[in-house]
Amino acid sequence: MAYQRIGLTTLIASIQDKIQTRTKLKCYDSVPGNAPSPFYFAEVINTTPANTKTMFRDNFTVWVHAIAEKGNSSVGVYTMIEQLQEALTENIVLPEPFELIMQTDGGVQTIQTDETGEKHAVVTFDFMVCYGFKCKM
C-alpha cells in the first residue's frame, strides 16, 4: 500500500485559513499586483523527510511575509507580527488522513522597508505532518 504525502497546496490552504480567520487580514500564496496592504503572504521554503521507526512524516518550513501599510513607523509591522504569532499558537487543521504532529514558531527572520515604502517582515514556522504509520507483518 502506498502512502500519499500532503500536497503543498493543501498545507498552504490550511495555513492561510488559520491566518485569515484569526487575524482578519488576507493571506496570499501569490500576491496580486494591486493588493492593498496590510496583508500576509505564505510560501513553503523547505520540505524534509522526518520519518521515525513508526511513522511516515515530513517537516515543512514556511515563511510568512507580513506586509504593513506605508509609513515611517514600525508599529504596523510589529502589530502584524504579534497577530500572526498569536494566530498560529492555535494548530492548523489538516484534512484526513493527515495528522499535524508539531507546529513551531521559528521567529522573525528579517524586517525591512520595501521600495514601495511598506514595512516587510518574514516569520518562519515549521510544520511536522504525519501521513502514515509503519507496522510489521
Provide the 3-class DSSP secondary structure of residue 102.
strand
pLDDT for the residue 1? 53
What pTM does this model have? 0.93
Structural domains in the chain? 8-133 (3.30.2000.30)
d(CA 70, CA 89): 27
Walking along the chain (137 residues) 10 residues at a time, the average pLDDT comes out as: 88 98 97 94 98 96 97 95 98 97 98 94 99 85
Q: Which three cell numbers stand for residue 50?
A: 522526518
d(CA 90, CA 122): 19
d(CA 117, CA 109): 19
pLDDT for the residue 35? 92
Contact 87, 18 (CB under 8 A): yes
d(CA 31, CA 43): 11
pLDDT for the residue 119? 96
Distance of CA 12 to CAs 20, 24, 66, 91, Å?
12, 17, 15, 13
Q: Is the dihedral of CA 2, 11, 123, 41 positive or negative?
A: positive
Q: Which three cell numbers stand for residue 9?
A: 497546496
